[in-house]
Amino acid sequence: MIAMRGWSFPIGRFLGVDVRIHTFFMLLLGIAISYASMSGVSSGRGFGLWLLLLLAVAVREIARAIAAAWFDLELRSVLLLPTGGLLSYATPEATEQATTPGMQKRMASIGPIANIGFGLMLAAMVMTIAPEINLLERPWISPTHLLRAAVWINLLLGAVNLLPASPLDGGRVFRGEFAKAHGALKSTRAAAGLGQAIALGLIVAGLLVPNMWLVMLGAFVMIGAHMEDQGLLLQTDADAVRMRDVMLTQFSMLSASDTLEDALQRSVHTLQDVFPVVRGSNLVGAVSRQGIVEALQADGNGYVQGVMTRTFQTAQPDDSLVKTLRRIMAGQGTQIVPVLEGDRIVGIITPQNLAHSMGMLNQRRKLRQQE
C-alpha cells in the first residue's frame, strides 16, 4: 500500500474519505488516446474510453465504501487502481475487523457484484433502447463503440476480480483461507506467486487472442502482485512478533500502599523507568520514576496510590505487537503496557525495552538466515 501510494496523487475528499488515483491511470490515458488514433477515430473517443474505465472502478469502490459504512468500518482513504482500489481504514479496530476472513469475503464479493450487476444493467438498457447494437460483436472494448465498451469494461473488471490473484478481490479471499491452515507468511507468498502466475497467463492470452486490454490487465496485476508481495511480507514479519517475544519478564512492581520514599529507594536498584502498581494481586495503576521524584519534591512523602496513573492499557502474551501498538497509539498513548495471563502480570512493555528487544530480534533473525 505504501509503495502504491507513492505513485499516486489526491483528487479530492468525499464524505470524509481521501480519494487518490494511481499514476497507472495516466499511462492508460495515453494508451487509450493512441488506440483511438490507430482506430481512425478522434482522441476524444479515446478519452471517453478512459473515462469509462475510471467509471467502472468508481462503481465498485463506491459500492465497497457503502458496504464498509454498513459494516461500521470507518474509512480513511481509497486508492484507485485500474484493477480496482485499495481501502485504508481510519482506526485500528476497523483495520483488524476488516482483516478477518469473514469480513474479507464480504468485502471481496461487493466489488465484482457491483461491476457485473452494473454491466448487466447497461446491457439491458442498450438492448432495450438500441436493439440494433450487437453487444457480442468484437472488439468488445474499443473507442469506436463506447456503449459496447461500457458494458464489457464492467463485466471484465468484475470477472477478473474473482480470480485468486493478489491484489484482486479473489486473491484476498484466497490468502485469508490459505492462512487458516498454513499461516500468514506462507499464505502471503502463495497468493503473490499465484497472482503473478495468473498475470502471466492473462498476458499470454492477450497476445494469442490478440487483445491488448488483457495484456494491460495482466501487466497491472503483475505489478500490483509484486508491490503487495513486498509490502505484505514486511507487514507479516512485523505482525508475526507477539508480545511474549519482546516483553520484559524480569521486572519490579510497586504496591499502592508503598510510600514514595520506599518506592524511590526500590527504583534505585533497577534500570526500569515505569512500574506496575498492584493492590494485592490486582493491577491498579502505573507510576514512573520521574513521577515519584516530582511528587516528593512538590508535596513530600506520600503514597504511591496518590500519584499513580489509573488509566492504562493491557495486552496478552499472544497478542500481535503491531496491533497492540496501533490500539495504544489510537488512544492517548502510554508509558507501560502490562502483559497479563489471566489476572497475573507476566511481563511489561516500555518504550525503552521495546527498542532494545526489537533490535535483538532482528539480530537473531539475521543470524538464523546465515545458518
3-state secondary structure 60-94: HHHHHHHHHHHCCCCEEEEEEECCEEEEEECCHHH
The pair phi, psi for residue 265, each rounded to 5°, is: -60, -40
User: 172 and 79, same structural domain?
Assistant: yes
User: 295 and 237, same structural domain?
Assistant: no
pTM value is: 0.61
Strands (E), 181-273: 254-255
Paired sense of beta strands 84-89 and 75-81, if any:
antiparallel
Q: Are 34 and 28 in contact (CB under 8 A)?
A: no
What is the DSSP secondary structure assignment for residue 139, as one 8-state letter?
A: P
Q: Of 224, 241, 258, which residue sits at a domain end?
A: 241
> From CA 343, how far away is CA 78, in angstroms rounded?
41
Residue 320 belongs to domain with CATH number: 3.10.580.10
Q: Are 33 and 18 in contact (CB under 8 A)?
A: no
Instruction: Report the SS3 class of residue 198.
Output: helix
Q: Which of 44-53, 213-222, 250-259, 360-369 is predicted with the least confidence, judged by mean pLDDT? A: 360-369
Which domain range does residue 287 map to? 244-370
Q: Of 241, 257, 292, which residue sits at a domain end?
A: 241
Write down the residue that cell numbers 471517453 correspond to: 48
> From CA 342, how far away is CA 320, in angstroms rounded?
17
Paired sense of beta strands 337-341 and 344-349, if any:
antiparallel
User: 192 and 248, same structural domain?
Assistant: no
- List Cα–Cα distances, 324 to 231, 232, 338, 350, in angstroms: 20, 18, 12, 13
- List Cα–Cα distances, 40 to 143, 213, 277, in angstroms: 10, 18, 79
User: 261 and 222, same structural domain?
Assistant: no
The pair phi, psi for residue 23, each rounded to 5°, is: -65, -15
> From CA 110, how far away is CA 71, in angstroms rounded?
12
Q: How many domains does the chain have?
A: 2
Q: Of 223, 241, 259, which residue sits at a domain end?
A: 241
pLDDT one-digit tens code per residue, 104-130: 888 889 999 999 999 999 999 999 998
User: 69 and 20, same structural domain?
Assistant: yes
Per-chain mean pLDDT for the chain? 81
pLDDT one-digit tens code per residue, 134-188: 888 888 888 888 999 999 999 989 998 888 877 788 877 877 777 666 665 566 6
User: 299 and 221, same structural domain?
Assistant: no
User: 251 and 227, same structural domain?
Assistant: no
User: 330 and 304, same structural domain?
Assistant: yes
User: 339 and 312, same structural domain?
Assistant: yes
Q: Are 263 and 253 in contact (CB under 8 A)?
A: no
